[in-house]
A and B are shown apart, each in its own frame.
Chain A
């Protein structure tokens, strides 16, 4: 199975700040990477697919980048509603696998 390693596991940032979350795949996944946001008590929601394509309705302060085995999610101008857990997921090879999650809190 492809292992997905996220860092950091938790992150504290101030309103208006820019934050970056990293995701490392154990092998090349050819940009077949998605990012999901899970707000407290809710189900995950798709943010980004194909590493850098923004899902419909997702604010433009979210962006994704990367290739090969290394990917990142960037949130510009952090808002209070961005407090969530963020997961990466590879859909290159079965079984599809998720990163362990990054918990983002406000400082």
Chain B
């Protein structure tokens, strides 16, 4: 089966610019997650979707971050405007349902200049 696909793999932008990340989960997986991973740390949840509904976005900095999962398949995570502290790897994961093991994409490595 095809894995979780993310794009772009790398993104370099100047601070205050907008940026968007895209994720295509494994076919049939209803639950989709966006994580942020800093160097030497584990993934930190930003938002979790059950189909097209965001069921946990308590850790999403809503003043600058937004996400959507139209039609309950692909998802987009946006940052506007980006700040220096947003430099990290943004990981997307999917699972058949909550509490099932998650499968990760290779992430988008974001660098803010």
Do the two chains bind?
Answer: no
Where the two chains meet, the residues of B that have a C-beta atom closer than 8 Å to any C-beta of A are none
A residues with a Cβ closer than 8 A to B are: none
